[in-house]
Amino acid sequence: MSRDEGSSAERWDKRYRAAAEAPFGEAPNVYLKTICARPDFAAETALSLADGDGRNGAWLAERGLAVTAVDVSAVATERAKAFDRRRGVTVARITADLADWSPEPGQSWDAVFVIYLQGTTALRLRALKVAAAALTPGGWLVVEGFSKAQAGRPDIGPNDPDRLYALEELRAAVPDLAVIEAWAGRLDLDEGPRHRGEAEIVRFTARRPV
Ligand SMILES: C[S@@+](CC[C@H](N)C(=O)[O-])C[C@H]1O[C@@H](n2cnc3c(N)ncnc32)[C@H](O)[C@@H]1O
């Protein structure tokens, strides 16, 4: 099967089923942790989009946040629920496709994390708009993903430019938010067997004005 065949759910279910260990590790994403450590980060509720098998959602819940997590893969979500149980936390986990998922009317969160959502531009832009609209005043949007400079390096992450991030695209997707950080560059990733090695990354954080 090529990397882009089949629906998102089928492809990701297959990957998670084939993975003996957590593909992206059990420790939270480094950038997510860095933002949570800021003295001005005081979120009490969080939404983690494309939360996968649970490392980020569970870690946020361990810190006392009330967490909702969404992922298209039912296999990943089941693994995430087992991970939550092992960690002694509760996360409201939803299996849904971000191509059409929206929060219930009136639902909002103090922080929304989008960590390595690797879909098409249309999917990623929709998810970012849903994320921005779901922020409480002062709420944080935090994104990390492979940048377009990663195209042609198929050893790690997507190869197709349509599935890779650009800072201009991120800024344009959330024009009502105040950008706190927009960084692109090369990092030595060490986040599980699938995200290990040098890669071109974007990191983007923005806040809804109060
Ligand atoms: C690279 S993994 C990252 C998982 C997690 N954020 C982490 O950092 O450990 C990408 C995740 O996006 C999910 N995903 C892909 N397409 C999706 C979609 N259309 N809707 C919701 N989740 C999706 C996959 O199931 C997978 O769990």
A 10 A CB-CB count for 26 gives 16
Q: Is the pTM of this model over 0.85?
A: yes
User: Atom 16 in ligand 1: which residue has the minimum CA distance?
Assistant: 8
Looking at the chain, how many residues does it have? Answer: 210
Q: Residue 7 has what pLDDT?
A: 82
Q: Residue 154 has what pLDDT?
A: 78
Q: Residue 63 has what pLDDT?
A: 98
98 lines ligand 1 (CB under 6 A): yes
Residue 80's SS3 state is helix
Q: Residue 4 has what pLDDT?
A: 44
Question: Among the atoms of ligand 1, which is closest to the Cα of residue 23?
Answer: 9
User: Atom 26 in ligand 1: which residue has the minimum CA distance?
Assistant: 52
Phi, psi (5° rounding) for residue 171? -60, -45
Q: Residue 6 has what pLDDT?
A: 61
The helix or strand, by DSSP H or E, that contains position 15, with its residue range, turns out to be helix 8-18
150 lines ligand 1 (CB under 6 A): no
The model's pLDDT over 19-29, given as tens digits with 9 standing for 90+, comes to 999 999 999 99
The model's pLDDT over 51-82, given as tens digits with 9 standing for 90+, comes to 999 999 999 999 999 999 999 999 999 999 99
How far is it, in rounded angstroms, from Cα 203 to Cα 207?
A: 14
User: Which regions of the chain are under pLDDT 50?
Assistant: 1-5
Helix 8-18 to helix 74-87 angle (10° resolution) is 50
What are the start-end ranges of the E strands in the chain?
45-49, 66-71, 92-95, 109-115, 135-146, 178-190, 196-207
Question: Among the atoms of ligand 1, which is closest to the Cα of residue 52?
Answer: 27
8 lines ligand 1 (CB under 6 A): yes
